[in-house]
Structure 1
Amino acid sequence: MIKIISFDMDGTLVTSRYVERVWLEGVPSLYARRHGIGLEEAQRIVYDEYMSVGTRDLRWYDLSHWLDRFEIDIAHHDLLEMFRADVELYPETEEVLGLLSEKFDLVVASNGATEFVEFELGSYRHHFREILSVTSVFGKVKDYPETFLDLCRHLGAKPDEVVHIGDHRYFDYEVPKEAGLSALYLDRERMESGDHVVHDLLEAAERVMGM
């Protein structure tokens, strides 16, 4: 019996607009200013450095690492505040959170660092039992079944009591399934179909209610 719903964050509850602006515009613009070069050149350098690490490396998600790496002197909060207006929930998110929180415990399990998940969802905290970053809390990305087992232990739940929902087919569907959780792949582009696929959070809510 499902007791807990675990959500990914970016691309699932909120659009990716905010994190993209921080990482792909904010950091390069600060790098350009710090090193006295043009924005286009700074973007190329910064993007190449990101890609040399990749999404399976904890450094990818670590803002401190990148600010140190690029010799940028700015408080994390100040950088995050620069793009506050770009935090954007999907249209159905708040309705679905209100509906599901009446029956289930809701949590966020994101690869994003704690400072990002807290910043983006802080005003919606009342819907959640917990908002957490698996990279910050467990020191692992959602690339490993053990990450989801850590999540279950952290929540005091058995894997078959948790369903995870997210927009990354591997991180948010295949890996949690391997760990023994139920999982739904959120395919907003409608490229796939099947019992494991939903196309928005309203559809996800209906599917979970039927489990």
Structure 2
Amino acid sequence: MPSLPWHAIDTVLLDMDGTLLDLHYDNHFWMEHLPQRYAELHGVSRAMAEMELQPLFERNAGQLQWYCLDFWSAELKIPVRELKQETAHLIALRADADTFLAAIRQAGKRVILITNAHRDSLSLKMERIELAPYFERMISSHDYGFAKENPQFWDALQADIDFDPARSLFIDDTLPILRSARDFGVGHLLAVKEPDSKKGPKDTGEFAAVEDYRDLIVGL
């Protein structure tokens, strides 16, 4: 991974799930825990639950409702917020993410969290991992009504925080989101090599990727 031109970066925009936090919690919840509890609560087999859930997941992926706990609670007729509490012990910080956050704050950069997570998910995670003090703002895409994949999210973010995209660094583990940021003009983009600690490295396409947060603060 090339060293970052920190002299050309004023604002650091950071995703949460898979970027600062291990994506294992979310993957386990949506792929394992939710189907199991859906089956139990609706009195169907696990296989039937997965058959019913899969098309719904595919239809809504990448849209704001995909990330909305209210939407899924209504759609699936189950208490998704409460179910997320049942696996909250799996919420974990990625290695040295806090070291990175402390270093960029100390260096005087603007540090802003931008997440597609619903506000209830954000609150649950901040109860477990205290990251709020590192950030000037913690923004959920639900605040704007557009997921980060949508160009309108970036227009809303610009209007809200008044940042210079060309002098900004954005780190995210989702390629369509990084491409949306690139189209908006964000000058410095990094993917995440291993967002889920249990799944191994992933292909990050055309983007350089974070493997070790300590490497990013060289030259800061």
Match of 1:113 in 2: 118
Residues 59-78 of structure 1 deviation map (CA, whole Å, 9 limit, x = unaligned): 21111111111222x372x2
Q: Which SS does the other structure have where 1:101 is aligned?
A: helix
Is residue 145 from structure 1 mapped to residue 151 from structure 2 by the alignment? yes
Number of residue pairs matched by the alignment: 202
Shift of the alpha carbon at 1:192?
A: 6.0
CA distance in 1, matches of 2:100, 2:188: 17
Match of 1:38 in 2: 45
1:15-94 superposed matches below 5 A: 15-55=22-62, 57-72=63-78, 74=79, 76=81, 78-94=82-98
- Kept in 2: contact 1:5–1:107 (CA 8 A): yes
Is residue 203 from structure 1 mapped to residue 180 from structure 2 by the alignment? no
CA distance in 2, matches of 1:90, 1:75: 24
Shift of the alpha carbon at 1:93?
A: 0.7
Under a length normalisation based on structure 1, what TM-score does the superposition of the two structures give? 0.84
- Kept in 1: contact 2:15–2:171 (CA 8 A): yes
Q: Which SS does the other structure have where 1:20 is aligned?
A: helix
Query: Structure 1 residues 60, 7: closer, same or farther in 2, change over 3 A?
Result: same
- Kept in 1: contact 2:69–2:80 (CA 8 A): no
Residues 94-141 of structure 1 deviation map (CA, whole Å, 9 limit, x = unaligned): 11111111121211111222222232235111111122211x111112
Moved more, 14-23 or 180-189: 180-189
Shift of the alpha carbon at 1:190?
A: 7.1
Q: Which SS does the other structure have where 1:64 is aligned?
A: helix
- The answer for unaligned runs of 5 or more in structure 2 is 1-7, 194-200
Query: Structure 1 residues 180, 29: closer, same or farther in 2, change over 3 A?
Result: same
1:198 alignment partner AA: A
Specify which of 163, 170, 176 is matched with residue 170 of structure 1.
Answer: 176
- The answer for unaligned runs of 5 or more in structure 1 is none
Which protein has greater RCO, CA pairs closer than 8 Å, 6+ apart?
2
